């Protein structure tokens, strides 16, 4: 299966040329979470996420021929050389060199920009690795690979996964599934699959994601450490089964437009992710007091008003508020009046799903 991604391109030194490509890729927010992986970035369960709109990474990849046979790469974030970023990219290049053989023949300069502040606690790995992978397949085509648009996206998703698992879902808009199972057609552990828009009720295409920045700054557990916590975790096997059951249960909900069932399932997933971390060894509590305070306020608001406001969480303290356009006006007043106070510096980011 992986064979299909091995490049057959062979380029002689005289065919090497300099150039530049660029790509823009949004972040995503998982509804059913990827938490746990096997070797080679193979997920232990299926996941699905909404691709966002306003939170994105834009990357320009400049390449020029070179003769030495090691990777050469400089990374610039917001115009500033970031030497600390190079090891991550080199690890990524080492993982993908079998699929992008020309990596050794070029010197690369990566210029990258995030639409969200670096300190916001929003992970840039999904959007960043996805944008990088989209750049690499473009170079492959410039060098003569002739990948169709569909194959180029599939390969970009495959490569992005090797950079960061969740990044494979950022390559497509809408809802994107990742992980092989017998209920999503075409699903694979190797790349993300766009979940068909026709299977999704219109109401779910209008969702907002407002991100409460409860705690800005670096997360206290990196995702690599976090995924490893699932190895030998006493509840891991049950969790992996439940994640797949949750995804299977979500599909008819997406079709029917049952917002309440959607919200309940998504909140359960988020709390399970955090419960897993609390039960791991060593244990992590990633919620802050203001995370809990915001969730309690949200539940109270929902009980009192009946508005469709739900939450999900990543492996951090920030709260993603999910709500449909039909209730957006009332909910956004509530956010400003009641939830903004829980955000560090009063900051939150307004985003939307992308279809």
**Which range touches ligand DP6 (CB under 6 A), out of 29-37, 86-94, 136-144, 296-304?**
29-37
Q: Report 52-91 residues binding ligand DP6 (CB under 6 A).
A: none
Q: Report 277-316 residues binding ligand DP6 (CB under 6 A).
A: 314-315
Q: Which of 25, 164, 170, 312 binds ligand DP6 (CB under 6 A)?
A: 164
In this structure, is the dihedral angle defined by the CA atoms of residues 68, 7, 26 and 267, taken in order, positive or negative? negative
Q: Report 211-270 residues binding ligand DP6 (CB under 6 A).
A: 223-224, 227
Minimal distance, residue 315 CB to ligand DP6, in Å: 4
Q: How far apart are CA 228 and CA 112, in angstroms?
A: 29
Q: How far apart are CA 179 and CA 177, in angstroms?
A: 7
Both tokens assigned to 225: 């450490």
**Residues near ligand DP6 (CB under 6 A), total:** 17
Cβ closer to ligand DP6: 179 or 334?
Answer: 179
Minimal distance, residue 149 CB to ligand DP6, in Å: 25
Q: Is position 209 an interface residue for ligand DP6 (rule: CB under 6 A)? A: no
Binding mask 108-127 for ligand DP6 (x = CB under 6 A): ---------------x-x--
Q: Is position 45 an interface residue for ligand DP6 (rule: CB under 6 A)? A: no
Q: Which of 21, 23, 26, 30 binds ligand DP6 (CB under 6 A)?
A: 30
Cβ closer to ligand DP6: 21 or 159?
Answer: 159
**Which range touches ligand DP6 (CB under 6 A), out of 11-19, 54-62, 80-88, 159-167?**
159-167
- Residues within the interface to ligand DP6 (CB under 6 A): 30, 33-35, 41, 47, 123, 125, 164-166, 223-224, 227, 273, 314-315
């Amino acid at each position: 299966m992986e064979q299909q991604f091995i490049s057959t391109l062979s380029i002689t030194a005289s065919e090497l040329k300099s150039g530049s490509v660029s790509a823009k890729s949004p972040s995503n927010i998982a509804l059913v979470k990827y938490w746990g992986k096997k070797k080679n970035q193979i997920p232990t369960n299926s996941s699905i996420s909404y691709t966002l709109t306003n939170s994105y990474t834009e990357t320009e990849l400049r390449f020029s021929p070179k003769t030495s046979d090691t990777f050469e790469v400089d990374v610039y974030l917001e115009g500033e050389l970031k030497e600390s970023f190079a090891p991550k990219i080199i690890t990524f290049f080492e993982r993908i060199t079998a699929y992008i053989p020309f990596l050794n023949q070029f010197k690369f300069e990566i210029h990258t920009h995030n639409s969200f502040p670096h300190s916001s606690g929003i992970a840039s790995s999904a959007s960043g690795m996805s944008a990088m992978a989209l750049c690499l397949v473009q170079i492959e085509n410039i060098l003569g690979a002739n990948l169709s648009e569909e194959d180029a996206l599939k390969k970009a998703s495959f490569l992005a996964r090797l950079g960061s698992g969740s990044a494979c879902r950022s390559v497509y808009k809408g809802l994107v599934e990742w992980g092989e199972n017998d209920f999503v057609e075409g699903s694979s552990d190797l790349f993300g699959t766009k979940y068909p828009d026709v299977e999704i009720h219109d109401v779910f295409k209008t969702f907002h994601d407002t991100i409460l920045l409860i705690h800005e700054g670096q997360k206290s557990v990196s995702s690599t450490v976090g995924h490893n916590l699932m190895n030998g975790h006493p509840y891991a096997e049950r969790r992996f089964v439940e994640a797949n059951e949750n995804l299977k249960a979500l599909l008819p909900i997406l079709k029917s437009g049952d917002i309440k069932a959607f919200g309940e399932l998504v909140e359960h997933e988020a709390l399970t992710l955090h419960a897993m971390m609390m039960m791991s060894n060593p244990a992590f509590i990633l919620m802050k007091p203001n995370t809990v305070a915001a969730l309690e306020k949200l539940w109270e608001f929902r009980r009192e008003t009946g508005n469709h406001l739900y939450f999900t969480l990543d492996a951090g303290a920030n709260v993603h508020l999910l709500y449909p356009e039909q209730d957006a006006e009332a909910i956004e007043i509530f956010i400003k009046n009641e939830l903004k106070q829980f955000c560090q510096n009063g900051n939150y980011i307004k985003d939307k799903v992308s279809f």
